[in-house]
Amino acid sequence: MNRLDVASLLLRVSLGACIFLHGANKWRSAESRRGTAGWFASIGMRKPKLQAAAAAFTEMFAGLLLVIGFLVPTAAAALVATMVVAIVVAHRSNGFFIFNEGQGWEYCAILAVTGIAVSGLGGGRISLDHAFGLEYAGTWGFGTGLVLGVGGAAVHLLASYRPQSTKVR
């Protein structure tokens, strides 16, 4: 074990726990599920109940995989995709800083960039990926996080995002 293994462990466990709790918060009660679906509808997501469930489960599943160190670049890509979608649909028009009204995009961007970095680092020797011989860190891991993350977000947005037009006719 070396310092990169420890760095990977710290980054992926903290990132995984954070995103897992974000998903769990969306799914913790019937009221939170209704609230999340209502919010998704208000920001232009089609099938908001399905979108709310998909977001919650993606965050929880990706978070769990990151914590245990299994399929790390793919789990990180799911996190990246979720954060890119959040930036586009909810935060980009609110400026950079999270403390801006409506919350800016800084927090989601930090999570996404950290996800890409973790995908490049891989799970390290303190992970299930290592235990099962699933080492695809480095260039392949980085590419997985970046391409699947941003590409997955683009596909999701094209299929599901329909913002209200603000044009006056």
Asked if residue 40 lies in contact with residue 159, where contact means CB atoms within 8 angstroms, the answer is: no
- DSSP per-residue letters across 97-111: -TTSTT--SHHHHHH
pTM for this entry: 0.92
> Nearest-5° angle of CA 68, CA 50, CA 40?
95
Asked if residue 67 lies in contact with residue 23, where contact means CB atoms within 8 angstroms, the answer is: no
Residue 99 has a pLDDT of: 84
Residue 93 has a pLDDT of: 86
Which tokens sit at 72? Answer: 């790390």
Residue 169 has a pLDDT of: 46
Residue 165 has a pLDDT of: 58
Mean pLDDT per segment of 10 residues, for the chain of length 169 residues?
92 97 94 93 92 95 98 97 95 86 92 96 94 90 95 95 65
User: What is the spatial distance between Cα 133 and Cα 52, in angstroms, rounded to a whole number?
Assistant: 34
Asked if residue 149 lies in contact with residue 79, where contact means CB atoms within 8 angstroms, the answer is: yes
